[in-house]
Each structure stands twice: as structure tokens, then as C-alpha cells.
Structure 1
Amino acid sequence: LSAMYPKSAAEFVYTEEAFKKRILSFILGWIIIFSGILSAATVALAFGSYLSGLIGIPSLFINIIFAVLLIVILSVINLIGIKTSTRTNIIFTLIEASGLIIIIIIGIPSFGTVDYFALPPASTFTAVFSSVALIFFAYIGFEDIANIAEEVKEPHKNLPKAIIYSIIITTVVYCLTAISVVSILDYNSIATSEAPLNAVAAEVLGPIGGIIMSSIALFATANTVLIMLIVTSRMMYGMARDKALPKGIGKISPKFRTPTIAVVLTMCITIVPILFGDISLVAHATVFGVLINFILVNLSLIALRKTKPDMERPFKLKPTIKWVPIIALLGSIICIALLFTFSWEIVLIQLIIVLCGIVVFYVMKSKIETKSIPINQN
């Protein structure tokens, strides 16, 4: 889909083109904006926790202060321009990757010493399946590549490659990291640790190992927050440009060529959930919203195969049953199943977000174009 429609506000565009229901695409865009905001808030709180622990003054208040400062600093970087943001992202990613490589290397001597398929005595399928929803948070971000399509060279060719390669590389690294962790620590130690990778490094390298991993974790969490702030502001910009949000949000800085109002608005709203200080609650709310996003994007792919069979597809998903892509169908079903694992509090949070979106939609209705979004295919 990113190759077919290389536009900002990607999921918003896909849904609009597939279903021609502006309220549906608007609500999806609205959910994605708040999922990005909640995701940035979650990881910013994790950053605050790592930093306060590293300097020896751990407290919720200090965590929140550090998290807010991180949001402000990274928003300034986001405001300066995509080149500055990209350079920062590359540096932080290299540091982050080095931390995972360290964990993998120190775990290699212990590979094969434990049963990797053993489950805790009290484990059930329901418990395991429920944990998948939260683990899903670690895989959020690949879809965000599509939202910077307008700032990518040859997006029709490069976007699919970027998404596929990043998923493959990340999955391999994550699997090796997980094997290393469970090879060094037992599952009880992992479950009770607030920073399992730090515990692994400290177990093998001593206290200095924990300090090194905590320092690397600061760059890793900051990197994730930066990406979420970039993507969320671009979603706001794309929706404002297509008159689904007030046009002022789509204003571009003549100096930095970035969506100034969208960046500042994203920063301000992201600070709000940080003030609650509950990482788990915010993380679960984020994943719930992302699952809704994935469901509608997969359904959009299926619908477009039926409604626009002759449209050029630089990258086509196979195999299919008639015109239905099997992977997209399975993706929708699995995501729907995962929605039933969340608590009523999380469902209520998302319901409130959706209801607020509906109110905004009808307030903006006179300004929102009901026709399809014009897509430049060139």
C-alpha cells in the first residue's frame, strides 16, 4: 500500500481510497495520532526511569520530569528538519544496536544450556496469548515508515524494501537477544526485573555491565520517542492538508520546511499522558489502537484488490485466494483476536478517544471534503 500511495497520513489515505467513507478514514487517522502520542509517552517514561535510576535518584516525579524534558528536546530536533532528525535517528540506532549485539555476544557461551520451549508451571494458552498483546509493543514502528513517504527518494521502490528488510533484521536480532537473555537468567528473574537486559549484562560483566546497558537504553528509548513524534506530526500534517483537521495544523515552516504547528501540537498533547506516570496502562492503550490500525489497513488492502484490480502495484502481496491476500486476511483475524485480551479500562480509554474523534469530525464536517483524496500516481 505504501508503494501504491506514497503519501503522508498513510493509513488515512489507504482507508479513504479503499472504503470511500471519510468518517472511517478520519477515525482511523485520529486513533493513529493518539496511538503515536501514547507510544511516545510510554517510551519517554521508560527513558525517565532509566535516567533517574542511572543517576541514583529514582522516583516517579523525577521520571516524569525527565520524560517531559525529552519530549521538548526531541520536538525541537523534529522542528529543525527531517535531515537533522534522520542523522539523530541513525546515531541513536547504531548505539541501540550495539547494546543488543553486546547482549547476544555475552549470551553465546550459554546458548543451548536451557530448554527454550519450556513454559512456567502455571502457564496457559490464554496467559501466553494475552502476553502477546503487550509484546506487540516491541514491534510497533515498522508501519511508521509509510508516513514519511513524501520525504523518501523513489518511494514506490524503496518503501516496501525498507519495511521488509527492517522487519527481517529486527526479528532476527530480537530472537537472538531473547535466546541470550533466557540462556543467562531464569524466567523468574526475568519476570521480576524492571530492566532484564541490564540484569543480563550485570550477571555476566558485573555492575559496569548494568551501567553500560542503562546508558544505551537512554539512546534506544530516545530514538523511539523521536520516531513517534516525527510520524505523529506527519499524520496530523497529512490530515490537515486533506482538510480533515484545521488547515493551520498543516502549516509548513518556510525556514525548516517542517509542519511547525503539528510538531508543537504533538509535543503538547504527548506531555499530558506522561503526567499520569503509568507506563503499563499507556503501553496497553497504545497497542490496542495500533491493532485497530492494522485491522483496517489489512482490510483496506483486501478491499482495494476487489475495487481497483487494475491499479498499478509496484509491490504485490502473495499468495491469494482468488483476489484475497492470505497474509492480509490472517493478519486481520489475529489482530481482532488480540483485541479480546485487553482489560475493560483499556477498551474504555480507546472508546473515549474514538468518541472525541467523532465529535471533532462532525464539528469539522463543513470543512471536511467528502470526496476521495486526490492521489498523485507519478
Structure 2
Amino acid sequence: MPSQPSLRRALGLAEVTFAGVGIILGAGIYALLGDAAGLAGNAVWMAFVISALMAAFTGFSYAELSSMFPSAGAEHEYVSHAMGRRIAFVIGWLSIISAILAATTVSLGFAGYLSVLTGVAVTPAALGLIVLLGLLLFCGIKETSWFNIVATFIETGGVVLLLVLGLPHLGEVDYLEAPKGLAGVFQASSLVFFAYVGFEGLVKLAEETRRPEKTIPRGLMLSLGITIVLYVLVSISAVSVVGWRELSASQAPFADVARHALGRDVFIVVSVIALFATTNTALMFLLAASRIIYGMAAAGALPAVLSGVHRWRQTPWVAIALVTAASALFLSVGDIAFIANATNFTVFLIFIAVNATVIILRFKDPARRRPFRIRLSVGRIPLLPIAGILFCVFLSAQIPPGVLLLGLVLTAIGALSSLGMNVRRAGT
């Protein structure tokens, strides 16, 4: 029987960092800035700061764990060492669901910009994008990486443009104006956390990265730091130009800021940039989802057929087909804010488990080599993961009840699937 082909190790620090910036940058600032402004007003920049703190705390946990276990299975692999295979399966399931939901969210953001430009209906446009991205992923990791690098340059240019447009308007609004008070700022923080979702997807590229135990943590922290600074500056710039009321009513917030500042021609240019940004982010989420399915299947936690690698393209084609179909299915929900919040809830649960895993392994496996190690500890207890857990719990409480219900249902499905997996194993 011919041997199973392996994934290709083709990514260095530059490619990993670009992938991180690409997956983070287009998600929230292009698609959700308007919705966030409706909750937090001109103080929307505070929402990005609050979410950034939580992302940074958990980012350190991912950096330590990815240096210990450089595997495409990522969260599933980490949690299995600390809490056992059953809980690890649930966390792996949630990782897959969150990435698929995130791809759907950003695809709807893409379709919103395309609709404003061309009048094309939102759902068909989002569906067409998802299918095209699935084909690109099938072609290969190097092709995907090259598209990511080009699109990241373009979308970063859009962010820089918005910063420049906002400079003449700085100081024209009250940046502490929050029509719904701190409650609105916290709700916006919970929503715009989606803007940072994706940095954890880098760890799923471990089996396609050279020297992953060092490259992945470095790329993760670099990409997170770059996007945190850009998000805060851009949110200040946007409300300076148009104010929170106009921003909150916009289907294409970036483009409307540009139109207000320089007219229709720039509106078109920024809309095209936003199309690249949202495309790039959706691509990276589908990439992350397919890799964790591949990793779990290779580890025996999912059916072996899902670990199939195409012999010529060296890509996990079965997993790619599955996540493409699932992301297209979630388009039927239609509400971008609802799907974004559902993504956030699943991510909060995952981040709680990841932060707890760092703490548990400090006691359970203290001798294991950690090329990247979190500082600020009391004895064996690292403090940043504790802060990450508390932030997750706090932001989860800001999510609307309907979204919480959907998140709990998806979690329950994962738990029941875990039980079924154990039953199948017992019968073999």
C-alpha cells in the first residue's frame, strides 16, 4: 500500500507573520466597525483596546503551547495532554466550528462591499467567494500563501489610507462619547473581539512551517502586535471623519469614510481594497479549519478519511471540501453580527480551555521543553493565562441570549459526538 503523502513545509517567519496579519486584519475592522460604533459610539476605540488585552493574554498561552506541541491538531493536541481525549475532542470540534463560522462572517462582509459596488445580492456573492477559496486551498499551501501576502499588502494599504484620511480630522469629535455608556462599550468589546479571532489559527500551520517550535510563536506575537496598533488607530480615525452615527448605519464603513473625506472615486478604491481584505481573511479561516480537521483525523479523533492528502497537490483535500460546504451552509443565517457573536462564544470557550491547559501542564508536565515560556508567574502558576480566563468569562456575559443558545447547542453536539467516538472505540 503506498504511503500517505505529508504536508509540505514551505513557510518561514515572514509567511507566517503575513498569514497572521492577513487573517486578523480583514475580519473586524473592515466588516464590523460600523456595528461596533453603534454600540460604543465614538468610544469604539476603547472596545478594541479591551479586546486586545484579552487577545494578548491568550496569545501568550498559544505561543507557549505551540512551542511545546508543534502540531496541526493545535488546541485538540494541547488539551488532550492536560485534560484527556474527551474534552480535547470537544475543544477541537469548537475550533473547527469557530473557524467555519468566522469564514462565513467575513464572506458576508465581502458580499456587503460587493453589493454596494455592483448591486449583486449578498448571499450568492458570499457563496461564490467561499467556493473559489476552497479551490485555491486545494491548489496548495504555497499558492495560498502567495495570495495571502499580496492581499495583506493591499489591505494594509487600505488601513494606512484610512489613517491618513483621519489625520486632518483628529480632535473633531469627543472620543469618550458612548451613547450606551460602559455597557455599550463592553458589548462592542465582545463583538469586535472577532476582529482578533484568527491569530490562534497560525498554530494550525505548524506542520507546514519550517522550525515551527520557534517560528510559530514569533509569528503569532508579531502579527497580533501589528494588528492591535492598527485597529486602535483606525477606529479613532474613522469616527473622526464621519462620527459614530453615520458609521453605525453603513454597510461598507471603510468605503464610506473614504467617500466622506475624498469623494466617490476613493470610495470605489477603498471598496476594492476591502474586497481583498475580506477575501484574504475568509481564506485564512477556511485554511485553519481544514488543518485542524486534518490534524484531528490524523490523530484518530475523527474518521481517517478526513486526513486524506492529495498526492499531487499535497493538500488535505477532503477536509477542505468539508469546511467549504459547511461555511456555505451557515450563509443561510444571513445576519453578520449574529454569526460573528456565535463565533466569539465558541472562541471564548476554546480560549478558556487553552489558558487552563497552560496552567495544568505547568504542574502535570513541568519538565517538558518549552522553547517559548510565559513570564510573570507565582510559583508554577502563570498569571497571564488566569487573566485570559477572566476576560473570556467577562466578555461571554456580554453576548446576546440567542447567540449563547446557539453556542451551547453547538457545544452539546460536540460533547455528544465525543461520547459517540468513545463508544465506537470501545466496540473495536
Residue 252 (structure 2) pairs with residue 188 (structure 1): no
Q: Return the alpha-carbon distance in structure 1 between the equivalents of residues 71 and 424 of structure 2.
A: 21
- Counterpart amino acid of residue 297 in structure 2: A
Aligned residue in 1 for 2:347: 290
Residue 93 (structure 2) pairs with residue 30 (structure 1): yes
Q: Is the 8 A contact 2:112 2:252 kept in 1?
A: no
Aligned residue in 1 for 2:163: 104
Residue 193 (structure 2) pairs with residue 136 (structure 1): yes
Q: Is the 8 A contact 1:75 1:264 kept in 2?
A: yes
Q: Is the 8 A contact 1:243 1:368 kept in 2?
A: no
Task: Structure 2: state its 5+ residue gaps.
Answer: 1-64
- Counterpart amino acid of residue 119 in structure 1: E
> CA shift at 1:192, angstroms?
2.1
Sequence identity of aligned pairs in percent? Answer: 36
1:279 aligns with one of 322, 336, 343: 336
Aligned residue in 2 for 1:13: 77
1:228 aligns with one of 285, 294, 297: 285
Q: Is the 8 A contact 2:113 2:251 kept in 1?
A: no
Structure 1 residues 238-293: Cα deviation after superposition (integer angstroms, max 9, x where no partner): 11111111110011111111111100011111111112222121111001111111
Q: Is the 8 A contact 1:9 1:238 kept in 2?
A: yes
Aligned residue in 2 for 1:256: 313
> CA shift at 1:368, angstroms?
5.1
- Counterpart amino acid of residue 391 in structure 2: I
Residue 183 (structure 2) pairs with residue 119 (structure 1): no
Aligned residue in 2 for 1:208: 265
Q: Is the 8 A contact 1:244 1:368 kept in 2?
A: no
Q: Return the alpha-carbon distance in structure 2 between the equivalents of residues 346 and 179 of structure 1.
A: 28
Q: Return the alpha-carbon distance in structure 2 between the equivalents of residues 276 and 328 of structure 1.
A: 34
1:218 aligns with one of 266, 275, 292: 275
Structure 1 residues 209-236: Cα deviation after superposition (integer angstroms, max 9, x where no partner): 2111111111011001100010000011
Q: Return the alpha-carbon distance in structure 2 between the equivalents of residues 190 and 51 of structure 1.
A: 18
When normalised by structure 1's length, the TM-score is 0.93
> CA shift at 1:352, angstroms?
1.6
> CA shift at 1:119, angstroms?
2.0
Q: Is the 8 A contact 1:302 1:328 kept in 2?
A: yes
Q: Return the alpha-carbon distance in structure 1 between the equivalents of residues 357 and 315 of structure 2.
A: 29
Partner of 1:71, secondary structure, is helix
> CA shift at 1:367, angstroms?
5.0
Partner of 2:339, secondary structure, is helix
> CA shift at 1:359, angstroms?
2.6
Aligned residue in 2 for 1:3: 67
- Counterpart amino acid of residue 151 in structure 1: E
Q: Return the alpha-carbon distance in structure 1 between the equivalents of residues 172 and 182 of structure 2.
A: 25
Q: Is the 8 A contact 1:239 1:245 kept in 2?
A: yes
Task: Structure 1: state its 5+ residue gaps.
Answer: 370-378
- Counterpart amino acid of residue 209 in structure 1: V
Q: Is the 8 A contact 1:39 1:282 kept in 2?
A: yes
Structure 1 residues 285-312: Cα deviation after superposition (integer angstroms, max 9, x where no partner): 0011111111110111111111111211
Q: Is the 8 A contact 1:107 1:181 kept in 2?
A: yes
- Counterpart amino acid of residue 104 in structure 1: L
Aligned residue in 1 for 2:26: none
Q: Return the alpha-carbon distance in structure 2 between the equivalents of residues 114 and 356 of structure 1.
A: 47
Q: How does 1:152-171 map to 2 (within 5 A)?
A: 152-171=209-228
Q: Is the 8 A contact 1:130 1:341 kept in 2?
A: yes
Q: Return the alpha-carbon distance in structure 2 between the equivalents of residues 184 and 45 of structure 1.
A: 25
> CA shift at 1:363, angstroms?
2.5
Q: Is the 8 A contact 2:162 2:238 kept in 1?
A: yes
Q: Return the alpha-carbon distance in structure 1 between the equivalents of residues 227 and 285 of structure 2.
A: 17
> CA shift at 1:362, angstroms?
2.5
Residue 135 (structure 2) pairs with residue 71 (structure 1): no
> CA shift at 1:12, angstroms?
0.7
Q: Is the 8 A contact 1:54 1:211 kept in 2?
A: yes
- Counterpart amino acid of residue 94 in structure 1: F
Aligned residue in 1 for 2:372: 315
Q: Return the alpha-carbon distance in structure 1 between the equivalents of residues 233 and 92 of structure 2.
A: 35
Aligned residue in 2 for 1:49: 112
- Counterpart amino acid of residue 193 in structure 2: F
Q: Which has the higher helix share?
A: 2
> CA shift at 1:9, angstroms?
1.7
Q: Return the alpha-carbon distance in structure 2 between the equivalents of residues 169 and 275 of structure 1.
A: 34
Partner of 2:285, secondary structure, is helix
Structure 1 residue runs of 4 or more that deviate by more than 4 Å after TM superposition? 366-369
> CA shift at 1:358, angstroms?
2.4
